[in-house]
């Protein structure tokens, strides 16, 4: 009976994590926080939720030890509690893609064009960047780029691409990336660039995937992002 009570207590604690991530919106919040820390207001805008609902979801994630928060005046900033949380999300995503056929169906429904995907070997890509053979384009918001990006990547947020496209030469191939396989930013960027005569492809993975492979990530100094 003591052994049973011990097991029940352990599995009850494990179930807290399962319960915390059993809502689609909370998984989206974890995905966003894997890019960079954010305020409740910023997360609400990104997820199209009210601030109140966003706060409730974040509190559930915090209660399970998956995120941490810090208050600065009127604003509360959330971040992942550790790198293990990011790894957990990536493994959960990978498991779902491997075991649930509906995941692939939904991806193909919303990402119909797969011909713009570039098979990317991280070390090879870094070498091509250093040799000036390719431009790696980070089209996420500036704060996400500042928090962590592929070394040598150029930051042009998607909303600024139209007016800043002149900064990109047409002599080199462009590899665009965004938040990961479910993000449409890179798809839109590649379509825009190809329509204007650029040779452009997208990288399916994002910075969390890149980091999980043990590849280097650069971040902007805090004073540069303040």
Give the catalytic positions in this structure: 178
What is the SS3 string spanning the chain? CHHHHHHHHHHHHHHHHHHHCCCHHHHHHHHHHCCCCEEHHHHHHHHCCCHHHHHHHHHHHHHCCCEEEEEECCEEEEEECCHHHHHHHHHHHHHHHHHCHHHHHHHHHHCCCCCCECCCCHHHHHHHHHCCCEEEEECCCHHHHHHCECCCCEECCHHHHHHHHHHCCCCCEEEEECCCCCCCHHHHHHHHHHHCCCCEEECCCCHHHHHHCCCCCECCCHHHHC
Report which of 143, 148, 154 is spatially closest to residue 218, judged by C-alpha positions.
Answer: 148
Contacts of 39 (CB under 8 A, 6+ apart): 75, 76, 77, 78
CB distance 137 to 174 below 8 Å? yes
């Amino acid at each position: 009976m003591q052994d049973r009570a011990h097991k029940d207590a352990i599995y009850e604690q494990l179930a807290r994590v399962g319960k915390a991530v059993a809502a689609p919106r909370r998984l989206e919040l974890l995905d966003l926080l894997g890019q960079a820390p954010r305020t409740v207001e910023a997360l609400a805008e990104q997820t199209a939720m009210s601030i109140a609902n966003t706060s409730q979801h974040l509190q559930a994630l915090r209660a399970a030890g998956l995120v941490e928060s810090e208050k600065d005046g009127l604003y509360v900033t959330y971040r992942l509690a550790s790198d293990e949380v990011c790894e957990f999300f990536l493994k959960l995503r990978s498991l779902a893609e491997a075991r649930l056929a509906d995941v692939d169906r939904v991806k193909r429904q919303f990402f119909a064009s797969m011909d713009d995907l570039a098979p990317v070997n991280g070390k090879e890509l870094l070498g091509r960047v250093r040799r000036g053979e390719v431009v790696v384009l980070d089209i996420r918001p500036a704060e996400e780029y500042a928090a962590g990006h592929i070394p040598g990547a150029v930051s042009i947020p998607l909303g600024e691409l139209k007016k800043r496209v002149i900064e990109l030469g047409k002599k080199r191939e462009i590899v665009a990336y965004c938040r990961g396989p479910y993000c449409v930013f890179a798809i839109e960027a590649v379509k825009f660039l190809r329509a204007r005569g650029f040779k452009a492809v997208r990288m399916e993975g994002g910075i969390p995937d890149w980091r999980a492979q043990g590849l280097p990530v650069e971040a902007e100094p805090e004073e540069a992002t303040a």
